[in-house]
Amino acid sequence: MGLVVQKYGGSSVADAEGIKRVAKRIVDAKKNGHQVVVVVSAMGDTTDELIDLAGQVSPIPAGREFDMLLTAGERISMALLAMAIKNLGHEAQSFTGSQAGVITDSVHNKARIIDVTPGRIRTALDEGNIAIVAGFQGVSQDKKDITTLGRGGSDTTAVALAAALDAEVCEIYTDVDGVFTADPRVVPKARKIDRISFEDMLELASSGSKVLLHRCVEYARRYNIPIHVRSSFSGLQGTWVSNEQGDRKVEQAIISGVAHDTSEAKITVVGVPDKPGEAATIFRAIANNEINIDMVVQNVSAASTGLTDISFTLPKAEGRKAIDALEKTKSTIGFESLRYDDQIAKISLVGAGMKTNPGVTAGFFEALSDAGVNIELISTSEIRISVVTRADEVKEAVRAVHSAFGLDSDSDEAVVYGGTGR
């Protein structure tokens, strides 16, 4: 029996009962002969509550202090979980990200893991302990400041530890039975996927299927760590995310699923002079502020004015910073104005079979048009089509596309065991 890394999300440890239930599961894995490393998230919606609290004392909190605050959530759950395990008669020790050797760069609020040195975890395991690690946090290599890995970052902590400790599997325990063909909170007829490739999972995750964070999938693919996504509330087998070799052949579906994302906003730079270098200046200003953008569209310029509009999407959380950065370039670029719209949603259809099946794009647009949904932006990759629509149309649009591609399950409705969907 080898080493397993188990990660429990916030909804799995939402209250004392949840912590005790999870402790039993962990002890069962230990009794089965595994060495067990557990990564735990903050209880329930604690992280959101801490963010709200920070907003009440400062509109743009300093990154260093913000990270220090947010990491407190995971420290609470790791200590309580270790206590609950000890109460069941087993040895457990909790560790912060820094103690567990999670070394990051120094970009606060979305740090990247650059090294993992889990010496203390190894020692704890060798001494017979279950090791509990606070997810979503690390320590910066240069300044030794506490950092966080971005929302949902505990998934990445789990896979990074699994890679560093050469675990046989990384189990991600959550509040649904695995990865579904759409978010079960929006599409009750979504179907559980038994096996999915890293490639398709990466596209689903980066398109907004928050059941797994895309950075975690990227990491797992790089180190070839199989991920088993499953419910902490049921004993069912979940979804295996892995490469496609040997007995891990994934389902040969044309379409893997439909993802949606309401966490982005759209900025339109209106009246940009249509000459070389303008787009470069705009996006350099954004990049210099460590802001990641997603979709970009430049409208055809009206010949008479020689001006064009450039629209792009970005995380809502970065909206204020991006607007401030662009305002500063206004005189250099000479654009007319900025428009900010946070009432948008992105809907994506993902599937490796798209490459070789004509008609997928047409079918996607037809489904949206039949549902009366207007499309504002479009972007595609080899295995994904995404569109931006109005936020209040997103649920209807996702359901329409899911049905149109024959993804609806004809058995029972998908179960959502917990969580608030926040």
Among 116, 131, 139, 176, binds ligand ADP (CB under 6 A): 176
Q: Is 4 in the site for ligand ADP (CB under 6 A)?
A: no
Least separation in angstroms between residue 41's CB and ligand ASP is 3
- Name which of Mg ion, ligand ASP, ligand ADP, none residue 42 binds, using a CB cut-off of 5 to 8 Å depending on partner kind: ligand ASP
Closest CA to 162 of 312, 347, 258, 35: 35
The single-letter code of the amino acid at 410 is D
Quick one: which segment of 13-21, 40-48, 114-122, 317-325 binds ligand ASP (CB under 6 A)? 40-48
Q: Is 135 in the site for ligand ASP (CB under 6 A)?
A: yes
Bridge partners of residue 377, in order along the sequence? 388
The side-by-side arrangement of strands in the sheet containing 102-104 is 113-116, 102-104, 137-140, 146-148
Q: Is 118 in the site for Mg ion (CB under 5 A)?
A: no
Q: Is 152 in the site for Mg ion (CB under 5 A)?
A: yes
- Residue reference for tokens 């320590």: 139
Least separation in angstroms between residue 172's CB and Mg ion is 8
CA distances (Å), 391 to each of 205, 309, 394, in order? 19, 22, 5
Where residue 163 falls (left for φ over 0; alpha for ψ -120 to 50; beta otherwise) is alpha
Q: Is 312 in the site for ligand ASP (CB under 6 A)?
A: no
Among 6, 12, 35, 41, binds ligand ASP (CB under 6 A): 41
Binding mask 394-413 for Mg ion (x = CB under 5 A): --------------------
Q: State the burial class of residue 332 (Cβ atoms within 10 Å of its Cβ: 0-12, 13-18, 19+).
A: exposed
> In sequence order, what are the residues at sequence separation of 6 or more whose Cβ sits closer than 8 angstroms to the Cβ of residue 48?
422
Quick one: which segment of 86-94, 126-134, 149-157, 336-344 binds ligand ASP (CB under 6 A)? 149-157
**By beta-carbon distance, which residue lies closest to ligand ADP?**
9
* Range 10-39, binding Mg ion (CB under 5 A): none
Bridge partners of residue 264, in order along the sequence? 315
Nearer Cβ to ligand ADP, position 106 or 263? 263
Q: Is 209 in the site for ligand ASP (CB under 6 A)?
A: no
- CA dihedral defined by 53, 58, 62, 65, rounded to 10 degrees? -40
- Name which of ligand ADP, ligand ASP, Mg ion, none residue 319 binds, using a CB cut-off of 5 to 8 Å depending on partner kind: none
Buried b (16+ CB within 10 A) or exposed e, 280-289: eebeebbeee
Residues that bind ligand ASP (CB under 6 A): 9-10, 41-42, 47, 73, 135-136, 151-155
Residues that bind Mg ion (CB under 5 A): 9, 152
